[in-house]
Chain A
Amino acid sequence: MANGTVAVSEKTFYEESTNKYSGILSWLLTTDHKRIGLLYLYTIGGFFLVGVVLGLLMRLELIAPGETIVDAQTYNSLFTLHGVIMIFLFIVPGLPAIFGNFFLPIQLGTNDVAFPRLNLLSWYVYIIGAVLVLISLVLPGGPIDTGWTFYIPYSVRTSTNVSLAIFAAFVLGFSSILTGLNFITTVHRMRAPGMGFFRMPLFIWSLYATAWIQVIATPVIGITILLVILERTFGVGIFDPALGGDPILYQHMFWIYSHPAVYIMILPAMGVVSEILPTFARRTIFGYKAIAYSSLAIAFVGYLVWAHHMFTSGISDTARWIFSLLTFIVALPSGVKVFNWVATLYKGSIDPKPPLLWVLSFIFLFSIGGLTGLVVGSLATDIHLHDTYFVVAHFHYVMFGGTGTIFIAGLYYWFPKMFGRMYNIKWANIAAALYFIAFNMLYFPKFILGYMGMPRRYFDYLPEFTTLQEISTVGSWLMAITIIIIVTNLIHAGLKGKKASANPWGGVTLEWQTTSPPPLHNFNRHVEVNHEPYDFSQLKELEYDSK
């Protein structure tokens, strides 16, 4: 892709800092996009593990009917916090903030993002938001118990710390907007010479589409949150019907952000898939432009479907059929992607390394998540399935089976580049197999439970649901073991793993054309792009040893 050979770097970005400090200060005051990406990795990774523990506690409570380990009120707080932490602290910022920060400038062939200081500020704003969530847990009033959707009128009337917790979501939104602005500007202004829009890797395309949603949609949730705080504090009647407000207006405003936010969560994951597949199939991606345009199409159509979350809320019949119809349109660009991914594998020279195994898991799990989305997107079936475990199963297949799986796939793919060390492949393969089994054990029974009528957010259930609830809980233990294996393997690799080469997988995008880990300014040479992003004919010029 680029002219010249890769020079051996004197120092990596770990050994050279953007500021005069050393030690912890050199990290806390860094403006290097790679270090900021790693700061995000450690904090977001930490919150992911907290979310996992909360999920495990919920599953443990549900191992038998009746009260098992927590009471109803604690269970309400558990599922709210699990949702808030997983959505706002893990899955929304996850891929863009970690891998986007680390790899967007490298894949564009530049030395940093457009606004490096703003980038660091985004991380601090994220941390402030996270600290506010934590403070809301311990203040008098108790942890928020509204569910992560903060529906009115309950969220106006409950005495738990709603105002502070939702203000935290408001602050986190700013972090998201700043990252989005930074990425849009970087993509427009800082591409290496020769890199036109259609020579950008597809991960960049997905981040670009995501950044637009972050910038345009996030202010809507910001305004909504401020209105709820106003209503709670001063009793202004905007949403609460007792004060003359309209509770459905709240649901509209919440989902006008939160549905596009689903695409903030999934689009970067789709971008990572489009990076991993060509590398391990040793051939160019099938339908490059179709995948690039479908990212933009998903970003746009994602704005048109929000009220499918509200079919049973009392919105007009006209709105219900229009939104149901529009919902089906999202399946088109999503389908374009899935078919192109599968076609990329066709007649490829498949190298089944761990990142590819995780992507294959993703295609399977995400397809189930996507197709069951059509079941709840259909007006008639949704009336039966709304607020049941079916919905819980559906969004876990999309969010965890989709974005969560790819979060781990991305880690396995880029870990050698980020840390310059290689993990144990055998254990990574075992984790991939266990994950697939654990995931389906944990979440598939919920489809059946939901169909049978098990409502979501209940800490108790009828005895006939026991067997399926037990299977799900055992699945959660297997999932915990899998996550322990993954984390242990990666931490061990980071500390004691074998040194990784510059290009351990045989990738051809720009990040594989610099050292592992990269130097401070990403490349020790002038970068000029004269290949398509997935042109494997250049592999023989690059430092790649297939053994």
Chain B
Amino acid sequence: MDQNKHSEHHHVTGYGVYILVWLGLIALTSITVTVAGIDFGMVALAVAMTIAAIKSALVINIFMHIKFDQPIFKVFLLVSGFTLIVIFVLTFFDFTYR
């Protein structure tokens, strides 16, 4: 009975979705490489970081199954992600105005 209960919560993702996400990740990587060749100045970093964040979100949600898991894990991830953003922003108060 416990096993049945467990399987009710178990989400199965189709191969199609995985392949689609994989292609998406490759496309985003190509964009990162292309953008790196163009001189955007300070914006280049922001663009690269944004693309990296989207890729992370895809991997974490789909490949690592967080999207289908209990909300508490999302909270844990958001706390960690938020801390990272705060650290980046505070560090740039030094680098930007030095």
Q: Which residues of A contact B (CB under 8 A)?
A: 188, 212, 215-216, 220, 248, 252, 256, 303-304, 306-307, 314-319, 322-323
Offer 27 A-B interface pairs, CB within 8 angstroms, sorted by A.
A188-B72, A212-B79, A215-B80, A216-B79, A248-B94, A252-B94, A256-B87, A256-B91, A303-B83, A303-B86, A304-B86, A306-B90, A307-B94, A314-B98, A315-B94, A316-B93, A316-B95, A318-B93, A318-B94, A318-B96, A319-B90, A319-B97, A319-B98, A322-B90, A322-B93, A323-B90, A323-B93
- Rounded to whole Å, the gap between the CB of B82 and the closest CB of chain A is 9
Once A and B bind, how many residue pairs between them come within 8 Å at the CB atom? 43
Q: A188-B72, A212-B79, A252-B91 are in contact. Are A316 and B96 (CB under 8 A)?
A: yes
A319 and B83: CB pair below 8 A?
no
C-alpha spacing A303/B83, complex, angstroms:
8
**Among the listed A188, A215, A303, A316, which residue makes an inter-chain contact with B98, where contact means beta carbons less than 8 Å apart?**
A316
Query: Interface size bucket, B side?
Result: 10 to 19
Q: Would you list which residues of chain B between 29 and 70 have a CB under 8 Å from chain A?
A: none
Determine chain A's interface SS by DSSP, over half rule. helix
**Extra pairs beyond A215-B80, A315-B98, A319-B94 (4, CB < 8 Å):** A303-B83, A316-B97, A319-B97, A323-B93
Q: Which residues of B contact A (CB under 8 A)?
A: 72, 79-80, 83, 86-87, 90-91, 93-98
**Among the listed B72, B79, B83, B94, which residue makes an inter-chain contact with A316, where contact means beta carbons less than 8 Å apart?**
B94
Name the A residues within 8 Å of B98 (CB-CB).
314-316, 319
B87 and A318: CB pair below 8 A?
no
Q: A212-B79, A216-B80 are in contact. Are A319 and B86 (CB under 8 A)?
A: no
B93 and A319: CB pair below 8 A?
yes
C-alpha spacing A322/B96, complex, angstroms:
13
Q: Which residue of chain B has its CB nearest to the CB of A318?
A: B97
**Among the listed B79, B80, B97, which residue makes an inter-chain contact with A317, where contact means beta carbons less than 8 Å apart?**
B97
C-alpha spacing A220/B97, complex, angstroms:
23
- Rounded to whole Å, the gap between the CB of B63 and the closest CB of chain A is 20
C-alpha spacing A323/B83, complex, angstroms:
16
Name the B residues within 8 Å of A252 (CB-CB).
91, 94
Name the B residues within 8 Å of A318 (CB-CB).
93-94, 96-97
Name the A residues within 8 Å of B97 (CB-CB).
316-319
Name the A residues within 8 Å of B79 (CB-CB).
212, 216
- Rounded to whole Å, the gap between the CB of A323 and the closest CB of chain B is 8
C-alpha spacing A258/B63, complex, angstroms:
33
Q: Which residue of chain B has its CB nearest to the CB of A184?
A: B76
Name the A residues within 8 Å of B93 (CB-CB).
316, 318-319, 322-323
Kindly list the 7 A-B residue pairs having the minimum CB-CB distance in the complex, ordered from nearest: A316-B97, A319-B94, A318-B97, A316-B98, A319-B93, A315-B94, A316-B94
Name the A residues within 8 Å of B72 (CB-CB).
188
A303 and B96: CB pair below 8 A?
no
- Rounded to whole Å, the gap between the CB of B72 and the closest CB of chain A is 7
Name the B residues within 8 Å of A256 (CB-CB).
87, 91
Q: A188-B72, A212-B79, A216-B83 are in contact. Are A304 and B90 (CB under 8 A)?
A: yes
Count chain A CB atoms within 10 A of each CB in B79, B80, B93 and give the residue with the most: B93
- Rounded to whole Å, the gap between the CB of A362 and the closest CB of chain B is 29
Name the B residues within 8 Å of A215 (CB-CB).
80
Name the A residues within 8 Å of B86 (CB-CB).
303-304
C-alpha spacing A52/B11, complex, angstroms:
56
Name the B residues within 8 Å of A314 (CB-CB).
98
Name the A residues within 8 Å of B94 (CB-CB).
248, 252, 307, 315-316, 318-319
Name the B residues within 8 Å of A216 (CB-CB).
79-80, 83
